[in-house]
Amino acid sequence: MTTLALIAHTPLASALSECAQHVLGEIDNYVFFDIEPDVDPESKADELIDKLKAMLGPDQQVLILSDLGGATPANIGARVVRQLQDAGVRAHILSGTNACMLLNAVRYRDQPMEQLCQSIFEGGKKGMKCVDLAPND
């Protein structure tokens, strides 16, 4: 089973986590971090690595979800992924996370990494809808 981490601008990680737990119940092997504007990225990356390593079993993989690619949470997540990979842990990061993506990450976390990422992207796309409402006559 893939260990999941969500890292996003405050309060998005908390809000998405509450949403996922509302729909799916308690989530095992999962951690989330809200990133404040004045965060020290290096210390936050170290904190996340420590939490993830404590949850990992043999041959487990880690998937980090972030809100905005290129922003501080994603940069922290990328730093964590590099350090985990250097330690021999299979790790990956996806950005642009929405509620449907997080739900699919939890639902399909027993899939191999490539298939899991595909399932997450599909969930994110399927969750985006343009709803045209007929005007009231």
- What pLDDT is stored for residue 130 in this prediction? 83
The single-letter code of the amino acid at 70 is G
- What are the pLDDT digits (tens) for 96-128? 999 999 999 999 999 999 999 999 999 999 988
pLDDT at 136 over 90: no
pLDDT at 137 over 70: no
- What are the pLDDT digits (tens) for 18-38? 999 999 999 999 999 999 999
Neighbours of 19 (CB within 10 A): 14
Longest dimension (CA), the chain: 64
Residue whose C-alpha is closest to residue 43's, from 79, 8, 15, 19: 79
Neighbours of 85 (CB within 10 A): 13
- What pLDDT is stored for residue 59 in this prediction? 80
- Whole-angstrom Cα distance, residue 137 to residue 121? 38
- What pLDDT is stored for residue 57 in this prediction? 84
Domains of the chain with CATH codes: 3-126 (3.40.50.510)
- What are the pLDDT digits (tens) for 62-105? 999 999 999 999 999 999 999 999 999 999 999 999 999 999 99
Residue whose C-alpha is closest to residue 7's, from 104, 54, 72: 72
